[in-house]
Amino acid sequence: MENFIVSARKYRPVLFDSVVGQQHITNTLKNAIKNNQLAQAFLFCGPRGVGKTTCARILAKTINCTNLTEQNEACGVCDSCKSFQNGNSFNVHELDAASNNSVDDIRSLIEQVRIPPQAGKYKVYIIDEVHMLSQSAFNAFLKTLEEPPSYAIFILATTEKHKILPTILSRCQIFDFNRIRVDDMAKHLASIAVKEDVRFDADGLHLIAQKADGGLRDALSMFDQIVSFSNRELSYQAVIDNLNILDYDYYFKLTDQLLNQDTAGALLLFDEVLNNGFDGNHFITGLAGHLRNVLICKDATTVKLLEVSDTIKQKYLEQAKKSPASFLISGLNIANQCDLNYRISKNQRLQVELTLIKISHLAQALRLSQSENVQQIAEQLKKKPEKLAVKEDVKLPEIANGSVKPILKVFETEPKVLETVALKEDKVVDAKPINPKSLISKLGSTLIPNLKDPNSIKSEEEKEVKKVELTGIEINPFSKEEFLEVWSKYSIKMKMQNKMKLSALMDNYTPILKDNFHVELQVESKILVDELLYEKVDLMNHLRTTLKNFQINLETIIVDKPQEKKLYTSKDKYQHLLDKNPKLDDFRKVFNLDLD
C-alpha cells in the first residue's frame, strides 16, 4: 500500500502563481526578483496556514534558479531547482525557532553564514516561528541581520509579530499575510477535489472554507477527513455530520418561527439542537451570526459581505424580504447580551430559552409601539370641536411661506379621518381630508414641534402670530401620584429600549407638579438639559396622551449644587481660634505645644 500524503503537503504550492489569496505579496516578490532589488531580510507575518513558509521556500528556490521563466518563476528543471525539490540543497537552511531558540543555536547559524555558497548566487536562511527566540538570542542575531554578507538572505516567519523586538523589525522588510477569503479557498478545494476524483457540492466546500477561518492548511485537513468519512463523496450533509456544525436550515427555520411568534416551536427546536450534542453558547452565537447575515442582505450594497454559496445566499435574500430591520437589530442586541451573560449564568439553558422568548415577542412589541401613538391620538380626537376660538396663548406651527397656518379638525361622522384647514388672515382658504397615519408620519409621531429641528423652534423676537385653541378635546385633571406613576413607567420603558441616560435622569430627578398642569424639573447642569431636550418630544407626547391632558407643560431648570461641608483640620481650627485671640500663639510658644 502506497504511503498516503496529506493534501496540505501534496498540493503545497511550488510557484508564486499557485499561492492562494496572497497576490499582493507574490507580485511584490516577483518584481523584486525581476529588478534585482532583494532585501537582506524579510519578515512574513500572519495567521496560521496562510502560506508564510510556503512563500519563503518559493522565494529561496526562485532566487537561485539559473533559468527563470518570463513570469519570473523558477523553472523546476535546473540543478538548483532539482536539488531544492529533493531536499538536499546546500543553499537553503531552515531553522525551527520553537525548538532552537537559545543563544548557541543562533551563534551556530552565524558561523554558517560566514561560508559563501559553493553553487548558486544566494544562501537563504528560513527561521520559522521566530518570535520564540529568547531575548539573548535576538540580541546575538542583531548585528548579523543588519549587515549580512552580500550572498546571505534571511527570511523570518511568525504568527505573533507583536512579540518580536522593534530592533529586529526595523532591519526587515515586513509582509503581512491576509486570511484567505472563503471564495478563494472553496475554489482551491474544488480544484483539488477534481484532481483526486472526489465528488462534491459547492455548499459543502463553502462550509469547510468558513470553518477553516482563513487558514488553508486547516481547510485541507478537514477536506481529507471528510473525504475519508464519506467514501470520496463530499456532500453538504457529510460536512455537517463530520465537523459537528449547526445546519443553516436550523437557523432559517428558527428565524421564521421567531417572526411568526411561534415560541413553542423555537424552544422545541433548541431542545433538538441540545439533544444532537451542540453547546448552547455555540447555538446562540450562530443565531447572532445568522441575524447579522439576514440584516446585511436588506441592502444590495452590503450583500457582498455575505461569504456563503449562491444557494444559501438566495435563502438569505428571501428571508431578508420578510424580516423587518427593527426586528433584526433588536434580536441581534438580545442575542449578543445572552452571549455575554452565558458563561457566568448558573442556568445556561434558561438563559438561551429566555432569549428566544424575548425575540419571539419582538414582532408584536414593534407593531404595538408603531400603532400606539395613532390609537391614542384618535381616542383624544373623537369629538367634533364646537368652535375654533382664536386666543393669544396657543401658537400654531407655520407653513413654509410663513403666512398660512394649519389647523386640525375632526369630523364626528368619521373619527378616523382628519381634515387640514388652512387659514390666511383668519379666513379659510383651503381644506382637504388626510389619513391620520400619514399625518402622524409627517409630524414625527407627535403633536409637539420637533425640538431636534432648530427651524421648528421660534424665537421671542419673531413676529407675533395668532394662536388658536382646539376645543372639544378632553382635558382630565390628575394627581401628583398619578403623574409620578406615569413618569416612573416611562423611565422603565426607556431602560428596556437601552436609553440608559434618559432613564437615569428620570430616576434621579423628581419632577415638581405646579398649577395649571405645569411641571418643573430641576437639574444641576446644562448637559442634563440637553439630554432631555432630544427626548422631550416623545416624553411629552407620552405624558399628554396617557394622562389625557394636552395642557401639560414641562420646564427644565438648572439649579446650583449645594455646597458640600468641608472637613476642617487641626491647623484650620487653630487658625480660627487664633483669629479671635492672637495671644493664643504666645501661649503655644511658652509651653512648646504642637498641633496634632
pLDDT 10s digit of each residue in the chain, 596 long? 467 788 888 888 888 888 888 889 999 998 898 888 888 899 999 888 888 899 999 998 898 888 888 888 888 888 888 888 888 888 888 888 888 888 888 898 888 888 888 877 888 999 999 999 888 888 888 888 888 888 899 999 999 989 888 888 998 999 999 888 888 888 899 998 888 888 888 888 888 888 888 888 888 888 888 888 888 888 888 888 787 778 788 899 999 999 888 899 999 999 988 888 888 888 999 899 999 999 998 888 888 888 787 788 888 899 998 888 888 999 999 999 998 988 888 888 999 999 999 998 887 766 665 555 555 556 655 544 444 444 444 444 444 444 444 444 433 434 444 444 444 444 444 444 545 444 444 444 444 444 444 444 444 444 343 333 444 455 778 888 888 888 888 888 888 888 887 888 888 888 888 887 888 888 877 777 777 777 888 888 888 888 888 878 888 888 765 555 567 788 888 888 888 888 888 888 888 877 76
Distance, CA of 104 to CA of 142 (rounded, Å): 14
338 domain residue, yes or no: yes
257 in the same domain as 232: no
- Could you give phi then psi for residue 297, rounded to 5 degrees? -80, -5
Cα dist. 217→183, 222, 229 in Å?
Answer: 15, 9, 19
- In 3D space, the residue among 189, 355, 186, 360 whose CA is nearest the CA of residue 262 turns out to be 360
Find cell 430559552 and name the residue.
353
390 in the same domain as 302: no
For residue 200, the SS3 value is strand
Beta bridge pairs of residue 419: 409, 433
125 in the same domain as 11: yes
CATH number at residue 315: 1.20.272.10
Stated length of the chain: 596
452 domain residue, yes or no: yes
252 in the same domain as 239: no
Strands 41-45 and 173-176: parallel
Question: pTM of this prediction?
Answer: 0.56
161 in the same domain as 23: yes
146 in the same domain as 112: yes
Distance, CA of 158 to CA of 130 (rounded, Å): 6
203 domain residue, yes or no: yes
Residue pair 177/46 in contact (Cβ under 8 Å)? The answer is: yes
370 domain residue, yes or no: no
Q: Determine the pLDDT at residue 264.
A: 92
417 in the same domain as 400: yes
Domain containing residue 494 = 480-558
Q: How many domains does the chain have?
A: 5
Extended beta strands in 308-426, E state: 388-391, 405-410, 418-424
Last residue of one domain, picked from the residues 403, 435, 470: 470
563 domain residue, yes or no: no
Q: What is the DSSP string of 533-566?
A: HHHHHHHHHHHHHHHT-TT-EEEEEE-PPPPPPP
Distance, CA of 303 to CA of 307 (rounded, Å): 9
Q: Determine the pLDDT at residue 411.
A: 38
Last residue of one domain, picked from the residues 143, 176, 209: 176
CATH number at residue 224: 1.10.8.60
274 in the same domain as 163: no
463 in the same domain as 514: no
Last residue of one domain, picked from the residues 127, 148, 176: 176
CATH number at residue 70: 3.40.50.300
253 in the same domain as 202: no
Termini Cα distance of the chain? 95
276 in the same domain as 348: yes
DSSP 268: H
368 domain residue, yes or no: no
367 domain residue, yes or no: no
574 domain residue, yes or no: no
Q: What is Dmax (Cα atoms) for the chain?
A: 112
In degrees to the nearest 10, what's the CA dihedral of 23, 28, 32, 37? -160
164 in the same domain as 31: yes
